[in-house]
Amino acid sequence: MSEHHFKFCTDYHCRLGILEAVAPGLRRITANNPGPLTFRGTGTYIIGQHNVALIDPGPDDPAHIAAIVNELGDEKITHILVTHTHRDHSAGTARLQQFCDAPSYAMGTHTALQRPSALPADMDAAGDTNFSPDVVLHDNQSIRGDGWQLLCLHTPGHASNHAAFAEAAHNRVFVGDLVMGWSTPVLLPPDGHLQDYLSSLDRLLARKDSVYWPTHGGPVEKPHTLVKHLIQHRKQRTGSVLAAVANGHRTLASIVEAGYPDLSANLKPAAMRSTLASVIFLIEQGQLKANLSDGLNLICQPA
């Protein structure tokens, strides 16, 4: 699959605050937090009927939580599953738990599974450090409820504690922010890590799921085509970072400028951090040198 033949799909529409039936045994309610990184908004998934599991409560937005509670009526939430501790996924959990007694399930707190990093401590700004799961999941753990069963897949890279939830009965995976159909996810170091991300994508490729349901955007119907594209896309990016450094671009700002001359200003901070993820990958591969304690001000040198 070459870059030229793949097209992200941005033709996805949903109604905010309304529980929509999107597939057998699956409903979805979308929060009002659209943006360059959240697309149409966070999609909260409801699995099952009457006694339901919920995946990703979304942001700490009273209107979204009230919509979930109102739309579910007298149905009972028995499990709150959280894919990862970014605020647009996990931060609404505490507010939701004011309305139900379901425990939350996730792979750990924001920092629990992070690798040690030489980056400055204040770089990890996207994380929801308030969230702590009631039940700490482990990789390959099965979670069962009333008429549904999910398998927890530890899939770090976008976030160190990222979990995807596979539902074998429907051959589908709730992939959180690991993969989405409309854009490539950002990796924000130190919690985001490119080598981990590529390993998680390989893990998806080794499976035979027929559809992915990302938290942001519509279902991915040809999942392996997309995953292969994402892998190739990351390889192209690391290749262009290496080439930029070889051409004398030594700062992250200069490398971003070289790679994306037309990038809009609101995407530049994410692009700087995403490029840092490529730089860290190349340092780990022995292809670049830089002092990570300089954070976004680091200077790259060819190894």
Name the residues that contact Zn ion, by CB under 5 A.
86, 177
Opening angle at CA 55, ends 147 and 181, nearest 5: 110
- Integer-rounded Cα radius of gyration of the chain: 19
The residue with its CB nearest to Zn ion is 86
CB of 15 to Zn ion, least distance (A): 23
CB of 162 to Zn ion, least distance (A): 8
Taking the least distance from each CB to Zn ion, the nearer of 86 and 193 is: 86
Taking the least distance from each CB to Zn ion, the nearer of 78 and 85 is: 85
CB of 125 to Zn ion, least distance (A): 12
CB of 204 to Zn ion, least distance (A): 17
Q: Which two tokens stand for residue 144?
A: 């069962």
Rounded-to-integer distance, Cα 70 and Cα 260, Å = 44
CB of 164 to Zn ion, least distance (A): 12
Taking the least distance from each CB to Zn ion, the nearer of 110 and 172 is: 110
Q: Is 31 left (phi over 0), alpha (psi -120 to 50) or beta?
A: beta
In 115-270, at which residue ranges do the beta strands (DSSP E only) sit? 135-136, 142-145, 148-154, 163-167, 172-176, 211-214
Taking the least distance from each CB to Zn ion, the nearer of 158 and 249 is: 158
Taking the least distance from each CB to Zn ion, the nearer of 78 and 104 is: 104
3-state secondary structure at position 23: strand
Rounded-to-integer distance, Cα 125 and Cα 154, Å = 22
Q: Which two tokens stand for residue 274?
A: 């995403």
